[in-house]
Homo-oligomer: A and B are copies of this chain.
Amino acid sequence: MGLNVKPLSDRVVIEPVAAENKTASGIIIPETAKEKPQKGKVVAVGKGTKKHEMTVKEGDTVLYGKYAGTELKLDGKDYLIMREDDILAIV
């Protein structure tokens, strides 16, 4: 994980997993019909706060709400940064 970013407090940087652009039966979904991805890989974790100890670790695959986080471009790639509390579950 050579990403040079230190999220502040209880924030986590997530690399979204690209949404599938084919249905199970092989039909190609046009770009606009694809759901915004809600799954991603944790690439950087803040130190937490007195009130919030961190649970997720780098490398975890997590689920998060559709509108969670702020988009971030780092080294030309798109990431999301969000508070750990916006992460729903580790899968």
Contacts and interface: CB of A to CB of B under 8 A. Distances in A.
A24 B76 CA distance: 10
B8 A87 contact: yes
Contacts of A8: 55-56, 84-85, 87-90
A69 to B, nearest CB: 10
Contact of A89 (B13, B55, B65, B76): B13
A17 interface: no
Interface residues of A, number: 28
A72 interface: yes
Given A8-B88, A8-B89, 12 more contacts: A4-B91, A5-B63, A6-B89, A7-B89, A8-B55, A8-B85, A11-B88, A13-B89, A24-B76, A63-B72, A70-B88, A72-B89
